[in-house]
Amino acid sequence: MKASIITIGDEILIGQIVDTNSGFIAKALDKIGIEVAEMRSISDNKQHILDTFSELQDDSDLVIVTGGLGPTKDDVTRNTFCEYFGDSLVSNAKVLEHVTKLIHNYTGNTNPLLQSNIDQALVPSKATVLFNQYGTAPGIWMKKGNTVFISLPGVPYEMKGLMEHEVIPRIVSEYRRPYIIHKTVMTYGMGESMIADRIADWENSLPAFIKLAYLPSPGRVRLRLSARGSDKNELESAIAENIKSLSGLISDVIVGFEEEETIEKMLGKWLTDKKLTVATAESCTGGKIAQTLTSVPGASAYFCGSVVAYQEAIKTDVLQVPTETINRFSVVSNEVAEAMALGVKRIMKTDYAIATTGNAGPGKDNTDKDVGTVCIALALPDGSVISNEFKFGQPREKVIDRAVNKSLEMLQKEILKFVE
Amino acid sequence: MKASIITIGDEILIGQIVDTNSGFIAKALDKIGIEVAEMRSISDNKQHILDTFSELQDDSDLVIVTGGLGPTKDDVTRNTFCEYFGDSLVSNAKVLEHVTKLIHNYTGNTNPLLQSNIDQALVPSKATVLFNQYGTAPGIWMKKGNTVFISLPGVPYEMKGLMEHEVIPRIVSEYRRPYIIHKTVMTYGMGESMIADRIADWENSLPAFIKLAYLPSPGRVRLRLSARGSDKNELESAIAENIKSLSGLISDVIVGFEEEETIEKMLGKWLTDKKLTVATAESCTGGKIAQTLTSVPGASAYFCGSVVAYQEAIKTDVLQVPTETINRFSVVSNEVAEAMALGVKRIMKTDYAIATTGNAGPGKDNTDKDVGTVCIALALPDGSVISNEFKFGQPREKVIDRAVNKSLEMLQKEILKFVE
Cα–Cα dist A407/A375, whole Å: 10
Kindly state the DSSP code that residue A301 receives in the 8-state scheme: G
Q: What is the pLDDT of residue B362?
A: 78
User: Which of the listed residues A227, A258, A289 is the one where a domain comes to its end?
Assistant: A258
Looking only at the bridges linking them, the beta strands covering B210-217 and B220-229 are antiparallel
Which of 227-266 (B) contact A at CB < 8 A? 260
Asked if A371 contacts A400 with a C-beta cutoff of 8 angstroms, the reply is: no
CA proximity to A76, closest of A18, A150, A151, A161: A151
Quote the Cα angle for B23-B66-A402, to 5°.
75
Question: Which of B35, B71, B192 is opposite residue A71, by nearest beta carbon?
Answer: B192
Residue in A43, A120, A314 closest to B304 by CB: A314
Inspect the interface and report whether the beta carbons of A134 and B197 lie closer than 8 Å.
Answer: no
User: A 322-361 residues with CB below 8 A of B?
Assistant: 347-349, 361
DSSP type of residue B46: H
Same domain, yes or no: A210 and A321: no
* CB contacts, 8 Å: B18 with chain A: 18-20, 23
Same domain, A368 and A390: yes
Tens-place pLDDT, residues B255-304: 778 755 678 988 998 899 889 999 999 999 999 999 999 999 899 999 99
Residue A255 exposure: Cα atoms within 13 Å on the Cβ side: 24
**pLDDT value of position B371:** 86
Asked whether residue A168 falls in the same domain as residue A186, the answer is no
- Considering only residues 75 to 104 of chain A, which have any Cβ-Cβ distance to chain B shorter than 8 Å? none
Rama region for B281: left / alpha / beta (φ>0; ψ in -120 to 50; rest): beta
pLDDT at B417 over 60: yes
| A41 and A162 inside one domain | yes
Q: B359 and B369 in contact (C-beta within 8 Å)?
A: yes
Closest CA to A225 of B47, B16, B216: B16
From residue A189, alpha-carbon distances to A250, A254, B158 in Å are 11, 9, 20
> Contact at 8 Å (CB) between A50 and A79?
no
Q: Are residues B229 and B271 in the same domain?
A: no
| Contact partners, residue B18, CB within 8 Å, separation at least 6 | A18, A19, A20, A23, B12
Distance of CA A326 to the CA centre of its chain: 37
* B196-206 residues labelled b (16+ CB within 10 A) or e (exposed): bebbbeebeeb
- The sheet that has B220-229: what strands, in order across it? B210-217, B220-229, B179-188, B254-258
Helix axes A263-274, A396-419, angle to 10 degrees: 30
Q: Least CB-CB distance to A308: which of B106, B216, B306?
A: B306
- The structural domain count of chain B equals 3
Q: Residue A56: list chain B partners with CB under 8 A.
A: none
Which among B125, B149, B174 is the end of a domain? B174
Query: Can you give the pLDDT of all 420 residues of chain A as single tens digits?
Result: 899 999 998 889 988 888 999 999 999 999 898 999 999 999 989 999 999 999 999 999 999 999 988 777 667 899 999 999 999 999 999 999 999 988 887 777 888 888 888 988 999 999 999 999 888 889 999 999 999 999 999 988 899 999 999 999 999 999 988 888 888 898 877 888 889 999 999 999 999 999 898 887 766 788 989 998 989 999 999 999 999 999 999 988 887 776 556 789 889 988 998 899 999 999 999 999 999 999 998 999 999 999 999 999 999 999 999 999 999 999 999 999 999 999 999 999 999 999 999 998 877 666 678 888 999 999 999 999 999 999 887 778 888 988 998 999 899 888 877 654
Residue A310 DSSP label:
-
Instruction: Residue A278: count other Cβ atoms within 10 Å of its Cβ.
Output: 28
Task: Tell whether B241 and B268 lie within a shared domain.
Answer: no
Do B161 and B204 belong together in one domain?
A: no
Is any Cβ of chain A less than 8 angstroms from the Cβ of B37? yes
Q: How far apart are CA A204 and CA B130, in angstroms?
A: 32
CATH number at residue A301: 3.90.950.20
Q: Which range among A328-337, B162-171, B207-216 shows the weakest confidence by mean pLDDT?
A: B207-216
Give me the total of CB pairs closer than 8 Å, taking one residue from chain A and one from chain B: 301
- Chain B touched by A226 (CB under 8 Å): yes
B13, B39, B116 ranked by CB distance to A196: nearest: B116
Residues present in chain B in total: 420
Relative orientation angle of helices A46-57 and A77-85, to the nearest 10 degrees:
50
Tell me which amino acid residue A213 is.
A
- Residue A193: list chain B partners with CB under 8 A: 71-72, 114, 116-117, 120
User: Do B318 and A260 lie within an 8 Å CB cutoff?
Assistant: no
**What are the CA-CA distances from residue B6 to residues A93, B34, B140 (Å)?**
42, 16, 14
Q: Within its chain, how far is the Cα of B125 from the centroid?
A: 37
| Residue A25: CATH number of its domain | 3.40.980.10
Domain boundary residue, one of A174, A201, A220? A174
Q: Which of A191, A286, A398 sits opposite B106 (nearest CB)?
A: A191
Q: Do B314 and A304 touch (CB under 8 A)?
A: yes
CA distance A201 to A199: 6
Nearest in space to A134 (alpha carbons), one of B223, B139, B399: B399
Cβ separation of A308 and B307 shorter than 8 Å? yes
Contact B108, B77 (CB under 8 A): no
Residue A164 shares a structural domain with residue A187: no
Given the cut 0.95, state whether the ipTM is greater than it: no
B101, with CB counted inside 10 A (0-12, 13-18, 19+), is exposed
Chain A interface mutation, best of B8, B99, B291, B404, highest count of A Cβ atoms under 10 Å: B291
Q: What is the C-alpha separation between B325 and B309, in angstroms, rounded?
A: 16
Are B197 and B126 part of one and the same domain? Answer: no
Q: Residue A51: CB partners within 8 Å, gap ≥ 6? A: none
CA-based torsion, B317, B323, B329, B334: positive or negative = negative
Domain assignment of residue A218, given as a range: 179-258
Q: Are residues A61 and A164 in the same domain?
A: yes
Euclidean distance between CA atoms B182 and B169, whole angstroms: 21
Do A389 and A341 lie in one domain? The reply is: yes
Asked if B361 and B388 count as a contact pair (C-beta separation under 8 A), the reply is: no
Return the number of other C-beta atoms located less than 10 Å from residue B233's C-beta.
8
Indicate if B337 and B224 belong to the same structural domain.
Answer: no
Q: Quick check: B106 contacting A, CB < 8 Å?
A: yes
Q: Which of B14, B210, B391 would best serve as a mutation to test chain A binding (most A beta carbons within 10 A)?
A: B14
Query: Cβ contacts (< 8 Å) between A317 and chain B: which residues?
Result: 347
| CATH number of the CATH domain containing B216 | 3.30.70.2860
Please state whether beta strands A278-282 and B278-282 pair in parallel, antiparallel, or not at all (unpaired). unpaired
Query: Cβ of B291 under 8 Å from any chain A Cβ?
Result: yes
Q: Do residues B190 and B214 touch, judged by C-beta distance below 8 A?
A: no
Contacts 24+ apart (CB under 8 A), B105-113: B106/A191
Task: List the one residue out of A78, A71, A74, A66 whose CA is nearest residue B210.
Answer: A74
Phi, psi dihedral angles at B147 (to 5 degrees): -105, 130
Are the Cβ atoms of B310 and A314 closer than 8 angstroms?
Answer: no
Residues B331-360 have pLDDT tens digits of 999 999 999 999 999 999 999 999 999 998
